[in-house]
Amino acid sequence: MAEAIVNKEAEVCELKPTDKPKPCCVCLDEKDKRDECLLFQGLESEECKPLIEKYKKCMEGFGFKI
């Protein structure tokens, strides 16, 4: 049976065990923290770099190269 994940934009992503998930449906916490930091601290902030790296590693874990 497929599992559904709902993100904050109310998008529903149907995940089947053999399907690769959509990028919008994974690493939501890491993405939110990264985006908030970039919004309030700016693109060049040293504070955001660990959050960006954490997000990249999370995405790579799902097979996405950033």
Binding-site positions read: 24-25
What are the DSSP calls for 2-49, one per residue? -EEEE-TT--EEEE-TTSPPPGGGS-HHHHHHHHHHHHHH-TT-TTTH
**Binding site members for Cu cation:** 24-25
